[in-house]
Structure 1
Amino acid sequence: MLGALTLLLLFQLIGEVIARALALPIPGPVIGMGLLFLALLLRGGPSEELRTTSGTLLMHLSLLFVPAGTGIVLYGDRLAAEWLPLTAALLGSTALAIAVTALVLRALMRRRETPRAGGEARP
């Protein structure tokens, strides 16, 4: 578990260093997550230790929202002052996520329905 946590934090650190060094508008953890994804693609998937550790983290995901909740309480005045752009961003990103998910689902369903060279449909 310690090795998997170290790996996750290492990729987050690498992403943070890249984001700050190149002054990118993308958060470092997002860059680190992308790099971890690429590394796992090249490796052929996560190890059992990484799979178990990430599953444990996901089970306790609600604890990771405590800092966000604290920030809402701390910056409540600013949120109240800028409610319109925040609401627009939330609604827009939610609509975009739903649309992209629907398009990907449609493409995957079409791909599944197209017949193979032997004339059979894909399972």
Structure 2
Amino acid sequence: MSVLRGFLWLLVFLLLGQAVMALFRLPMPSGVIGMLLLTLFFGYRGGMNPDVVHISQPLIAMLALLIMPGVVEIFFVAGQFADQWVAILTALIAGTLLSVLSSLLLMRRYLPASDAPGLAAGNAGHE
């Protein structure tokens, strides 16, 4: 039942993202908007729902498969973007740096210090 509840959480926020995208005519995928809303919601609540954590772990393991269709599609439309390589490269670098920075800040905010991998083992000899 936990898997079903977690899936429903994700589905509700995906639909909310779709509604926000259609209502405000935003040029973003509804899944991205939904995940931003989900992050803001759980940030406001002060923590994650265990059901969402439970269903998210298998999805994270398959993340490469979920990204693959978009990666394959770029080969068919690459000619349309040939004169915009500077903007694309800048967006890729800035996006990567911002995602790493935001991941770092979120992990520092929501993970207890004892859950950090290697932290307990690294401090064992210094006590």
TM-score interval (norm. to shorter): 0.5 to 0.7
1:51 Cα deviation from its structure 2 partner: 0.9
Report what 1:35 is aligned to.
Answer: 37
Query: Structure 2: how far apart are the matches of 1:46 and 1:75?
Result: 38
Aligned pairs (5 A) from 1:1-123: 1-95=3-97
Query: Structure 1: how far apart are the matches of 2:17 and 2:103?
Result: 26
Q: Percent identity?
A: 32
Local SS of the residue matching 2:59? helix
Q: Note the alpha carbon deviations across 1:78-101, whole angstroms, 9 max, x for none.
A: 243432321122234345556778
Structure 1 residues 17 and 87 mapped into 2: Cα distance closer, same or farther (>3 Å)? Answer: same
1:52 Cα deviation from its structure 2 partner: 1.4
Larger Rg: 1
Aligned length: 104
Query: Structure 2: how far apart are the matches of 1:51 and 1:9?
Result: 14
Q: Which runs of 5+ in 1 are unaligned?
A: 105-123
Pick 1 or 2: higher relative contact order, CA cutoff 8 A, min separation 6.
2
Misfit runs of 4+, over 3 Å: 41-44, 92-104
Q: Which runs of 5+ in 2 are unaligned?
A: 107-127
Query: Structure 1: how far apart are the matches of 2:12 and 2:96?
Result: 30
Q: Could you tell me the TM-score, scaled by structure 1's length?
A: 0.64
Q: Could you tell me the TM-score, scaled by structure 2's length?
A: 0.62
